[in-house]
Amino acid sequence: MPKHIAPFLLVLLAACVPVPFALAEPPTGDAQISTLVKSAKTPADHLKIAALLDAEAETEAAKAKTLSDQAEAYREHLHSAYGKNIPDLVEHTDALAHSYGEAAQRHKALADLHRQMAAATQPQ
């Protein structure tokens, strides 16, 4: 075997070795919330869930704002090269902005409920 191929094969072999589960990244976002909800027992558990839900709400609120701004930009181009597609673009973008805004409000409400549960839960 030529000497220049040996390092290549070593790198290729190393890439095929599975990464141990312990090195895998922990779940984030909805997956992490779902995992925590299944096992929440302590005030700290509920506060952690509330914090994650607040973060989700902030992300969704930002997305709603971005989409709302995008819809406004479409409205400003009603007579432009976008042509007859503008009303559809505005309608769909407004609907998405509304959905993200509602999702943000619901995540905030869930976070508030978990804070209430944390206050009512006896520490273990």
- The residue ranges of every structural domain in the chain are 5-120
- Report whether 86 contacts 78 (CB < 8 A): yes
Tens-digit pLDDT profile for residues 63-103: 999 999 999 998 887 766 667 788 889 999 999 999 999 99
Could you tell me where the beta strands, DSSP code E, fall in 52-108? none
Burial state string for 58-75 with b = 16 or more CB within 10 A and e = fewer than 16:
eebbebbeebbebbeebe
Reply yes or no on whether the pLDDT at 108 is more than 90: yes
**Interaxial angle between packed helices 43-75 and 29-39, expressed in degrees from 0 to 180 and rounded to the nearest 10:** 150
Task: Indicate the pLDDT class of residue 23, thresholds 50, 70 and 90.
Answer: very low
Tell if the pTM clears 0.75, that is, is over it: no
